[in-house]
Every structure is written in structure tokens, then in C-alpha cells.
Structure 1
Amino acid sequence: MLAYLIRRLLYALPILIGVNLITFALFFIVNTPDDMARMQLGVKRVTPEAIEKWKAERGYDKPLFVNSAASGLSTVTDTIFFEKSARMFVGDFGRAEDGRDIAREIGSRMGPSLAIALPTFVLGLLVAVSFALMLAFFRASALDVWGVVLCVAMMSISGLFYIIGGQYLFSKIWKLVPISGFGEGLDAWRFLILPVAIGVISGIGASTRWYRTLFLEEVNKDYVRTARAKGLPETTIFFWHILKNAMIPILTGVVVVIPLLFMGSLLTESFFGIPGLGSYTIDAIQAQDFAVVRSMVFIGAVLYIVGLILTDLSYTLVDPRVRFE
């Protein structure tokens, strides 16, 4: 197991380097520092002196990869790539265009993002799996047919409709919860209950259909017929045998999502005014803050790789036949 983990981590290193290089090329080669200066200064006729001053203040006046004017290690370290991209491998994300420390901002905004994402993830998973098991248990019945119709209808509705409709109905009309914002401590639940409920409801349709398909694929397999021949109750077969054997494909989709919970929800946080990482990314895109966007892309790549490794490890928990040599 340890050798497998080390091997996977070594495989992940070139992937992160590739993501870093592609991101760097998009920001500094396709979109040069001069272009970034013109966009940030926000005026059509910018003097060359103003551009050079802006670049010098932010370290964009250095060579991209190799500084031929320097000597020794400074040839590589005194470059834009090392200072803006390579340092992210050690957690140094630098500063945003407004001067604030990006790592500190990420640390402070991670809590609100998790406060929404974790309850939404856990409740959504429990509701979807339970609903899918019920539909598979009563397969080919009226309950199953209308349940599938309901899932398709929920899938067909845009997530924006749930957000806007929920805010209008529960906040503006009934005034049960705040329409947006975020509170500290225990007071935060008033601001979280609506976005969490909307997140759960908007994801039930697609998740339930997927899990129902997995359960129905297991219903007619040999081990299920053997269990029925032994006289086991149908509920025991579903909740012990079928659910357990369908866990591998479920884990494939679920565990990968867990690290990405730290990234926050772009739409939910923006519409509800939650100061999380999702709204932080949206604000950075709107403000053309390339330092923040680069950092969030890199963190997303790291978390996705971590999710893939966790997925492989979780297989050993539900299927003893899976072993990593």
C-alpha cells in the first residue's frame, strides 16, 4: 500500500507541473504582462511609463523563464515563472492585485465554503441513495415510474431556478431566512439553511437516477438469486448485499468530489453572498486578478489528484478483492 501511494504521488508530480506550465502560458504568453497592465489600469491610452511602473510594482518586469542578466541560481529564480508559479508547489501563492495575501484569504474563506459544501454533500448523498434504493425496491411499480418522472423533471430545471425561486419564496415572500449574507458562530445556520436545502434538492434528480441504475444492475446477478434461494428477506438483500456491491461505482463519483468541496460553489456563494472560495474566484475573474485565478486553478488540480488517490484507496474498504501491490 505504501509503495502504491508513493508511486501515485510521483505520477501526480508531472501532472501538476504540466497544469502549472499550461496555466502560466495562458496568463503570461498568450496574455502578456503589458496586456495585463493595460487591463488593470483601465484606461485606453496608457503611457509606457505607467505600464513599466505597474509591472515593476508586481514583479512582472522580469524575464519569463531565464534571466540571462543574472548569475548562478538567480538565472532561474529571478524570473516570473519561479516567483509566480513555481512557488505554489510550496504553498506560496503570493499576493493578489489588491495587495492581500492569497494564502491567508484562502484559509479564511475555506470555512464558509465547507459550511455549505459538507452538509449539502452528506445530506444529498443520503437522500439520493435512500430514494434510489426505494425506487429499485419497488421497481416497475407506479412509485418507480413516477419517481423517475420526478427525477427527470428535477434534472431538467436549471440550478439558477432553484436559487432564485428559493430566495424569492422563502426570503422575500415568507421572510423565513435571510436572502444573502453570512454570520459568525452559531448564527451562521440562518444563512446556510436555504443554500444547503437548495443544493440538496437541485442534485437529487441526477444522483437518484444514477444510483437507481446501479442498483438495478445488481438485482438480477447470481449472488442476488442465491440470496433469494436461501430465503433471505428482500430488504436484507437490498440493504446488505446490493448496496454493498454497488458501492464501488458510487465511491468513484463520490470520493472524487470530497476534495473539491474545499473549492466552494461558484453560483451558490455568489448569489447568497457567502464569503467562500467560490465567490472569491468569481470576484477575481471579474476584477481580472490573475494571481488569484492562477492559485485557484492550481489548488483545484491538487485537490482533484488527491480525490483520485482517495477513490482508489476507498475501494479496499468495500471490496476485499481489491489490493494494491
Structure 2
Amino acid sequence: MLTFTIRRLIFAVPTLLFTALIIFLLLELAPGDPMSNVPLTVPDDVKQQMRLALGLGEPMHIRFFKWIVQFFWIEPLNLFDQMFGTTFAEGKLRVISWQSRSPVIDIIAERIPQTLWVVGTAYVVAIAIAIPVGIYSAYRQYSFFDQAGTFITMVGYSVPPFFSGVLVIVVFAVNLGWFPSIYDTTHKVVDWDSFVVQLKQMIMPVMVLALQITSQISRFMRASMLDNLEQDYVRTARAKGMGERTVVMVHVLRNSMIPVVTVIALGIPAIFGGAIITEQVFKVNGIGQLLITAIQANDLPMVQTLTFIFAVLIVLFNLFADVLYGILDPRIRYD
């Protein structure tokens, strides 16, 4: 397993480099000019100087090489300096946002806690609900619980977040007045009362995100459990007198989790992209809203970095899913 993990990490390097090249070229060739937001009263010679200051006067391959060096070398060195008080990255050029003139990674680091509060909580809640629901629905197939769960999950998976988000705002914020309709990103948790306020403003965005995630995972869990409950090893275990709880919760569940692991692992980076809509609806000042703002402002360094971070997450969680396969199923051997 260790050899497989190292081999996959080595193969991930050219994959990420190729992905970075594609992202860079697509954004470079996309229509739009970062100087389009500059007032018309600014003279052309000043605009040209601003363009050169942003590095737009250099050839495309030089800009791509600098961006790669900054992302893979200078930014990790800067993170190391912040953690241990060293000065390895001092004086080195970092990836700078064209919109705010600040280092891109620093801006992302400020936004990540807001996204993790909402997205991370939603994913944990969704998994905690989806797996038990999927297991019980499969074990009690065609029961009232199974049919009700099927109906709710189908509705939850079909309704887009921009509709469900507005719906919960109208019901719980406007009509009932239980929760705030706008997420206050400046709020800090310092005591129990501030934690309750934070919890209240998280409930609606977490509800919207968790609804879709729960619907997807529970359907996969149910289908996988139904497939394994009909296998020969289940009938053999029951014929040997093994307890029903042991058969279902140990043998069947372990084998059923193999395809579900893929959905859970690959859903983690995907939900960061999916949170873009939810963050816009509830005004969560997170990564998703940052990406939308950067696209609207033609802030290419910010868009490139955020998109590439999503690509890195997908590659890493693919590897994580493959490693879990070997843990869940002893028949799978990578070495």
C-alpha cells in the first residue's frame, strides 16, 4: 500500500502540471481585459504602465512558469516562514491578486474558515444522516420508511440550491423569523452566546448543502447495500447461525462502503465548487463568493489559483479513495 501511495503521488505531479497548463491557457484565451474596469479618464500610457506592472507584457510561457514557481515553491516557503518564523520566502515575488493587490494565498486563507464552517459542517451532517438512512432503507426495502426516504431524497437531489436556498430564507427567516437571512462573516465565537449566534446563522446554509449531499450518498448507500444483501456470502453467514446485526453491520456494510467511499471522497472537492451558489444566496464570504468576485473582475491570478486548488483536491481525494479501497476490501492489493 505504501508503494502504491508513493507511486500515485509521483504520477500526480505531471497530472497537476498538465491541469495547471490547461487552466492557464483557458483563462488566458478567454475574452476579457483586466484593464476594462479602469476608469475611461485614465490615459492610455498609464494603462500600459499598469499592464506592465501586472506582468501582462511578458510572453505567455514566461508568465506560466512564474505562476507555477510561485504556487509550488514560493507560497509553501511563505507558509513555512509563517509557521516557524523563518525568512526563506522574504523578498520573493508572490502570486498577487490584480483586484486587491494582495497575495492570493493570504486572501484565500482568510476566506477558508468561513467556507469550512458551512461546507465542512454540512458534509459531516450529511454523511452522518445518509449512511444510516441508506442502510435501513435497504434492509427494510419497500417499507414506508424506504418509500418516504426515496421520495425525500429524489426531491432533495432534484431541487437546485438557488431555489431551496431562497425557499428556506422565505420560510424560516422572513415568515417565521427564526434565523438570520444573511450570514455575518465578521462574527467571532468567543463564548457560549456567540457560539449560539454562529450556530443559528449556519443552520440554513448547512441545511441547503446537506440536503443535496444526503440525497446523493443515501441513494448510493441503499443501492450498494441491496446488491450485497443478495450475495452468497450473506446467505452462508446466516446459515452458520451468525447474528443478523453482525451480518448486516459488519460484513454487508463493509463491502457496501466501497463504492460509497468514492462518492464521499470525490464529493469533498466538488462541494467546494457547489458551495458557490449557496454562498451567493446567503452572502457567505467564503471561497465560492471569492471565485465569483474574481471572475467578474477578470482577476486571473485569483481565478487560476482557486481553480487549480480545486484540481489538487480532486487528485488528492482520488488517491484517498483508492487507499480506503484497500482498507475496506482485503481482496484489493496494490503492491
TM bracket (short chain): 0.7 to 0.9
Q: 1:208 to 1:324 in 2, by over 3 A?
A: same
Gaps of 5+ in 1: 66-78
2:143 partner amino acid? S
Deviations 1:56-98 (A, max 9, x none): 1211112222xxxxxxxxxxxxx32223344222254611112
Whether the 8 Å CA contact 1:38–1:46 is kept in 2: the answer is no
Whether the 8 Å CA contact 2:34–2:299 is kept in 1: the answer is no
> Which of 258, 269, 275 is the aligned partner of 1:248?
258
1:177 aligns with 2:187: no
Gaps of 5+ in 2: 76-93, 190-194
**Partner of 1:80 in structure 2?**
63
Q: 1:318 to 1:94 in 2, by over 3 A?
A: same
TM-score, normalised to structure 2's length?
Answer: 0.84
CA shift for structure 1 position 231: 2.9
Tell me, in whole angstroms, the C-alpha distance in 2 between the residues paired with 1:256 and 1:149: 25
Whether the 8 Å CA contact 1:113–1:276 is kept in 2: the answer is yes
Deviations 1:14-37 (A, max 9, x none): 111111211222233x248xx524
The count of aligned residue pairs is 308
**Partner of 1:4 in structure 2?**
4
CA shift for structure 1 position 221: 0.2
**Partner of 1:103 in structure 2?**
105
Decide which moves more: 250-259 or 293-302.
250-259
Q: 1:295 to 1:99 in 2, by over 3 A?
A: same
Deviations 1:94-141 (A, max 9, x none): 111121221111111111111112221111112111111111111133
Q: 1:42 to 1:133 in 2, by over 3 A?
A: farther
Q: 1:202 to 1:27 in 2, by over 3 A?
A: closer
> Which of 50, 53, 60 is the aligned partner of 2:56?
60
1:184 partner amino acid? K
Q: 1:37 to 1:252 in 2, by over 3 A?
A: closer
Tell me, in whole angstroms, the C-alpha distance in 2 between the residues paired with 1:48 and 1:194: 48
Tell me, in whole angstroms, the C-alpha distance in 2 between the residues paired with 1:196 and 1:165: 14
1:88 partner amino acid? F
Percent identity (aligned): 27
Q: 1:90 to 1:40 in 2, by over 3 A?
A: farther
> Which of 201, 204, 212 is the aligned partner of 1:194?
204
CA RMSD of superposed structures (Å): 2.3
Tell me, in whole angstroms, the C-alpha distance in 2 between the residues paired with 1:47 and 1:11: 49
Whether the 8 Å CA contact 2:272–2:288 is kept in 1: the answer is no
Whether the 8 Å CA contact 2:126–2:210 is kept in 1: the answer is yes
Tell me, in whole angstroms, the C-alpha distance in 2 between the residues paired with 1:150 and 1:310: 30
> Which of 17, 37, 41 is the aligned partner of 1:40?
37
Q: Higher relative CO (CA 8 A, sep ≥ 6), structure 1 or 2?
A: 2
Whether the 8 Å CA contact 2:265–2:321 is kept in 1: the answer is yes
